[in-house]
Amino acid sequence: MEVRAEKPEDVEAVRRVNVAAFGRESEAKLVDQLRDVASTFSFVAVESEQIVGHVFFSPVAIAGECADDLLVLGLAPVAVLPGYQRQGIGTLLIRHGLAECARLGCKAVVVLGYPEYYPRFGFTPAKEKGLGCEYAVPDDVFMVLELESGALQGCVGTVKYRSEFNQLE
């Protein structure tokens, strides 16, 4: 299994993975809309020359008190073809993506996701770091991971995703 950055020729395969994984086109459209935004990162899992998984990171803003130059990304979506799920591919994609985001200067990552899944990567409830979510979600499903220790010290506020996320069904 190879995990690597998405290439231009991967766009259609990435679209197929997201549609198959979610059973709808919303996440695929989201990725298509965000792909050319600055500070987005897209990684694919390749098995036998076929793209079987995808993870995407896009910038978020913190409305409140926080350093202006602090790069914080949102992890979404993560998708694996149904026939390849529950084989650790999502975990592999997330671990690779987080390491690359850290290497490329990101200081923290937020995620809206399952509280029984994301803590394995080090995510904790964002509320514990003084961050809230712009969406009305339970505290335990909105989590954050500091990629640099203490990066969020002094940050307090509401995390705002890019407006393209508001089109998700």
Q: What is the pTM of this model?
A: 0.95
Nearest one of 42, 49, 31 to 7, comparing CA atoms: 42
Query: pLDDT for 140-163, tens place per residue?
Result: 999 999 999 999 999 999 999 999
Distance of CA 53 to CAs 36, 58, 93, 96, Å? 20, 17, 8, 12
* Cβ neighbours, 10 Å, residue 26: 15
Q: pLDDT digit string (tens) for 42-95?
A: 999 999 999 999 999 999 999 999 887 899 999 999 999 999 999 999 999 999
Half-sphere exposure of 72 (CA within 13 A, CB side): 27
Domains in the chain (CATH in brackets) are 2-167 (3.40.630.30)
